[in-house]
Amino acid sequence: MRNTKRTVPKKAVYTDADLQKFFIAVEQTADAVFMTDPKGIIGYVNPAFEKITGFSEAEALGQTPNIIKSGQHEPDFYKKLWRTILSGETFRDIVINKKKNGEFFFTDHTITPLKDENGNIIHFVGIWKDITDKVQTEKRKDEFISIASHELKTPLTSIKVFTEILKKSLNGEAGEKAHKYLQRLDEQIGKLTTLIGDLLDISKIQSGHLDFHKEYFFIAPLIKEVIEDLQDSTQKHHIVFNQNNQADVEIYADRDRLGQVMVNLLTNAIKYSPQADKIVVDMKNSDVSVEVGITDFGVGISQEHLEKIFDRFYRVYDNDDITYPGLGMGLYISSEIIKYHGGKLNVKSKKGSGSTFTFTLPLE
């Protein structure tokens, strides 16, 4: 670990009692520990290794870690693992391994090369935590989100259709009042539709099934369209589009999905700047990319949260005692959509002053 002061000097002389203490620690820890020589031949396993894998010490010694290889990863994964440790670096990842009885298990795994004074690798030490239960709980949660959002979508579609029919069949004075309520009902249905759409998108991203339909189109009209739509929903904020004298560019992308990103970022800009009255959308392009920035003058985000706000379900709760509605899905979905297009979604922000979210898309 860099920047951490070692409490034990590197060349300390350890007494037998010290070594005994370290040995007991390794023997009794709940995490599996094994050591191999530079060729990968196992020379030590601790009792946790035996317990988790089902291989006894006698069965494991002299073998390679192939005995627990599940084959569940692509060959590239194993190649990367070897490349990393042979270059003297620590490998860390979630690895699916296999027990003696054939059962798969998930591990949070590190493999570290141990070196002599000359920097030659003399051993590899593998340490892992069994995280199978955690992974399975996550999987069940993902399945639940997927099923629940599908189940919610069907009745919602019917409610929307019936609302439209009702609207059309209402006439006269009483009808006017009813129209007003139906309008509100429509707005709420709109919110629910977005929410369920986001939940469905999240489960599609998790399973790798978010589909895209790419086409060629100019980006400025899309930006203007989204701004126009959102301007209708806010009286307080004026949304300004700065094309910065840039010529419009044609991109090859999924127009609806990019519109979804713009809506997400602009909705957030409105939501998180209740005291401001302006939002600026900038467009800049170069020979190789186009960049769209959305700037608000609202609550901003402090440094400690900046990196995490693109994580699934991450929300910031230190916004001056005000609770903003939301579930922390929009930025995650947006950044996945931009990533799919080979681009990047970035944020610059200062707490109390506002934020700029910028996405960059490569031009083909």
Least distance in Å: CB of 238 to ligand ADP?
A: 16
Q: Which of 153, 315, 344, 348 binds ligand ADP (CB under 6 A)?
A: 315
CB 29 within 8 A of CB 51: no
Core vs surface per residue 143-173: b (16+ CB within 10 A) or e: eeebeebeebeeeeeebbeeeeeeeeeeeee
361: three-class secondary structure by DSSP:
strand
Q: Which of 127, 66, 122 is nearest to 98 (CA)?
A: 66
Restricting to residues 266-305, which ones interact with ligand ADP according to CB under 6 A? 268-269, 272, 296, 298-301
Question: What token pair was written down for 230?
Answer: 């959102």
Please tell me the distance from the alpha carbon of residue 295 to that of residue 240, in angstroms, as a whole number: 10
Helices (H), the chain: 16-28, 47-53, 57-60, 75-86, 132-169, 172-207, 219-233, 255-271, 303-306, 330-340
Q: Residue of minimal CB distance from ligand ADP? A: 326
Least distance in Å: CB of 316 to ligand ADP?
A: 3
Q: Which of 46, 107, 149, 355 binds ligand ADP (CB under 6 A)?
A: 355
Q: Is 309 among the residues that bind ligand ADP (CB under 6 A)?
A: yes
Closest CB to ligand ADP among residues 293, 298: 298
CB 291 within 8 A of CB 253: no
Stretch that binds ligand ADP, among 23-31, 97-105, 144-152, 320-328 (CB under 6 A): 320-328
Q: Is 335 among the residues that bind ligand ADP (CB under 6 A)?
A: no
Closest CB to ligand ADP among residues 113, 330: 330
Please tell me the distance from the alpha carbon of residue 113 to that of residue 84, in angstroms, as a whole number: 9
Neighbouring C-beta atoms of residue 76, cutoff 10 Å: 9
Least distance in Å: CB of 328 to ligand ADP?
A: 4
Closest CB to ligand ADP among residues 34, 332: 332
Closest CB to ligand ADP among residues 48, 265: 265
Restricting to residues 228-267, which ones interact with ligand ADP according to CB under 6 A? 264
Residues found near ligand ADP in the complex (CB under 6 A): 264, 268-269, 272, 296, 298-301, 309, 314-316, 326-332, 355
